[in-house]
Structure 1
Amino acid sequence: MSAPTEYKFSGWMGLDNESYKGQLVEGEYEVKPFEENDVDIKVSHCGICGSDLHTLRSGWGQTAYPCVVGHEIVGTAVKVGSSVKGIKVGDRVGVGAQSSSCLQADCEECAAGDESYCPRIVGTYGSKHKSGHKSFGGYADYARVPSHFVVQLSDISLSSEVLAPMMCGGVTVYSPLVRNGCGPGKRVGIVGLGGLGHFGVLFARALGADKVVAISRKASKRADALAMGADLYISTDEDPDWATTHAKSLDLIVSTVSGPNMPFAGYLQLLRTHGVFIQVGAPEDKLPAISAFSLIGRGLKVGGSLIGSPKEIRDMVELADKKGVKSWVNLWPMTKVNEALIKFEEGVPRYRFVLVNEKHAEMPDARL
């Protein structure tokens, strides 16, 4: 079912690698031709993710400018292709960091429901569709996305501003928690209490872990971590003996930070025999070197995880709805996106910025 296309695709564009410094400009752009498996979304909310800034400054490789970032999108379906099932015009929907994959039967990843690991992944922004047209994200009025990667949200009671940052930030930690057995009987550590890390604490608790430990450099976020559901807070800068004091106390660690100076060896000390360390943080520098014996001696496993599938996003929001999990957000009018980017880079968010498109949604007065 389709509605008349009486709208233009316009958003806040980065034009060069200085744009992350609050230099986005508003303008129109050409999206891929509409196909009958597509959904056009009137964007009401879009979270700001660290990936947006990495892309705007070409930190992970050269970005094809102009680029409209934003992959934590919630809005209303305004045009729905004839082959789309489960979504109709007027439904509230969401989109995460991926807008397409090959979806071929002979693709090992897609066939297994691992679309986010498809070698032909198309990101919600900064990628190219099969047509050769660039993908554009959610710092915008409208987004056009293949329906397989559009998540139905109409039956979820949580507000759109709470749901938006879960589309990427939430599922990025939810996926490795679930895939590595987080639940009753597990003791779980979350490294970093930022946008990703706060979701790690919230979802580890919602999944029923026996113990949830937040691990951060400074003690300043201790009260927040405990309010989110952490049982223990470890400040690595302020307790020189943290690694030995808490040695062999965790079954699973999900790390949302990275960098050449992170105390990687110390984190591994916290794991019990056959414990698992999963890296999800992906800044522009490298992880520190570690001794092979730190893995061999206790049979530890170190791995990584990338975003999550559409099914995982849907499973996550259902759990969040059932358990009352709410993102900790600061709301910004989309017209002030440049100011928000500057504040984001300064580390102001507690714990996720969400842009509100005032053309399509009301801007609340207070933080949720």
Structure 2
Amino acid sequence: MKMSYPEKFQGIAVTDNNNWLNPKKISFEPKKFLPNDIDIKIAACGVCGSDTHTAASRWGACPKNQIVGHEIIGHIVKLGPNCDKSWKIGQRVGVGAQSGSCLNCDRCETQNEPYCPHTILTYTSKYDDGYISQGGYASHARVHEHFVIPIPDELPTNFAAPLLCGGVTVFSPLLRHGCGPGKKVGIIGIGGIGHMGIMIAKAMGAEVYAFSRGENKRSDAMKLGADHYFATGTEGWDKDLFNTLDLVVICASSLTDINLDQYINIMKIGGMIQSISIPNFTEKLVLSPFSLVGVNIGNSHIGSPHEIKLLLDLMATNGIKPWIETIQINETGVNEAWTRMEKGDVKYRFVLTDFDSEFK
């Protein structure tokens, strides 16, 4: 059947790794359309720190003509013949950081798809036929239906987009480690993900402790819902916090300035420190092994489709919206977003919009 849109998709891609801040508009072949695939016409895409890390080759060389973006919101324009009959043409849906997995292993069957050894990320992953997945700074996305998420009517498109990666990445460890009423939960780093972490932990019923290096984010943290704020660049910030926290999630973009020994000291016995930070691959964790006695520490991956759905329902029910700034999708707009992100000049998440204007 002839598609009602061009056979080639369009996107804003990194065409020169040495000039990654200046991506270019390209046309590209989508992956082969399979029986369980859904084509989505994109309306908005959040800008994640993973996008700049990938574009700048901080996690390895960025593939040539790579389109990033994995906080996608759009509308269904084509359904594969084997797709579930509940999907409808025109339906508003989202796609996060994962677009595929084997769907047959124990991890996939227990709603742990992000930990499947055969995970296909929404961009930079290689399919069996060698195709490199392309992300959401584009006119369309082609995704297996398992990783397509219905968007609740109560969530506006631009505010829903950052939840699909950034939001669920902090929600997943909060959910898995018991965030809720009666728990004291810390969020380290108040940025694109951390600011959502405060909102989400509060909505889940926890007493929220926010940690940032200086005092400049105190006001924002309290507006976001934090019950307590600590400036960790201040001497003795932790002196009254011994044996306080049940759970901490590290949302900082770098681990270099995180003194884990101090945070371990403020945890309750059996407490959990989860990092979602994936910084430059050259960074290392530094801590005293004796500090770990009685405390757990680990690293969490992106959220599963089930967790994305739970988060969207939580945000819709509580009327919570991330703090965003919108920028039009085009070469100039992506350059602006990435340049300002490199300077930390955003409160707290960019969302690319006006896709119809750029990809006519």
Report the CA distance shift for 1:358/1:110 in structure 2 as closer, same or farther (over 3 A): closer
- Name the amino acid aligned to 1:41: I
Q: TM-score, with normalisation over the residues of structure 1?
A: 0.93
Partner-residue secondary structure (3-state), 1:75: strand
Give 1:234's aligned residue.
Answer: 230
Partner-residue secondary structure (3-state), 2:11: strand
Question: Conserved in 1, the CA contact under 8 Å of 2:42 and 2:355?
Answer: no
- C-alpha separation between the residues in 1 aligned to 2:71 and 2:98? 10
Question: Conserved in 2, the CA contact under 8 Å of 1:329 and 1:351?
Answer: yes
Q: Which of 283, 286, 302 lines up with 1:289 in the alignment?
A: 286
Is 1:139 matched with 2:134? Answer: no
Report the CA distance shift for 1:100/1:360 in structure 2 as closer, same or farther (over 3 A): farther
Correspondence 1:18-97 to 2 at 5 A: 18-21=18-21, 23-85=22-84, 86-97=86-97
- C-alpha separation between the residues in 2 aligned to 1:288 and 1:6? 48
CA RMSD, Structure 1 to Structure 2 (Å): 1.5
Task: Return 5+ residue gaps in structure 1 as ranges.
Answer: 362-368
Can you list the C-alpha shifts for 1:109-167, whole angstroms capped at 9, x where unaligned? 112110000011111011112232111100111111111101011x4311010000000
Give 2:199's aligned residue.
Answer: 202
Alpha-carbon distance, 1:42 to partner: 0.7
- C-alpha separation between the residues in 1 aligned to 2:25 and 2:199? 35
Correspondence 1:184-263 to 2 at 5 A: 184-209=181-206, 211-237=207-233, 239-257=234-252, 258-263=254-259
Further displaced range: 115-124 or 251-260: 251-260
- Name the amino acid aligned to 1:233: Y
Alpha-carbon distance, 1:63 to partner: 2.2
Alpha-carbon distance, 1:3 to partner: 8.2
Report the CA distance shift for 1:5/1:73 in structure 2 as closer, same or farther (over 3 A): same
Can you list the C-alpha shifts for 1:301-327, whole angstroms capped at 9, x where unaligned? 001110111111011101110011111
- C-alpha separation between the residues in 1 aligned to 2:18 and 2:46? 21
Q: TM-score, with normalisation over the residues of structure 2?
A: 0.95
Report the CA distance shift for 1:158/1:350 in structure 2 as closer, same or farther (over 3 A): same
Alpha-carbon distance, 1:16 to partner: 2.9
Report the CA distance shift for 1:45/1:315 in structure 2 as closer, same or farther (over 3 A): same
Give 2:98's aligned residue.
Answer: 98
Further displaced range: 59-68 or 219-228: 59-68
Give 2:114's aligned residue.
Answer: 116
Alpha-carbon distance, 1:88 to partner: 1.5
Task: Return 5+ residue gaps in structure 2 as ranges.
Answer: none
Can you list the C-alpha shifts for 1:162-213, whole angstroms capped at 9, x where unaligned? 000000000000000000000011000000000110111011001011x101
- C-alpha separation between the residues in 2 aligned to 1:260 and 1:350? 22
Give 1:13's aligned residue.
Answer: 13
- Name the amino acid aligned to 2:79: V
Q: Percent identity?
A: 43
Question: Conserved in 2, the CA contact under 8 Å of 1:3 and 1:78?
Answer: no
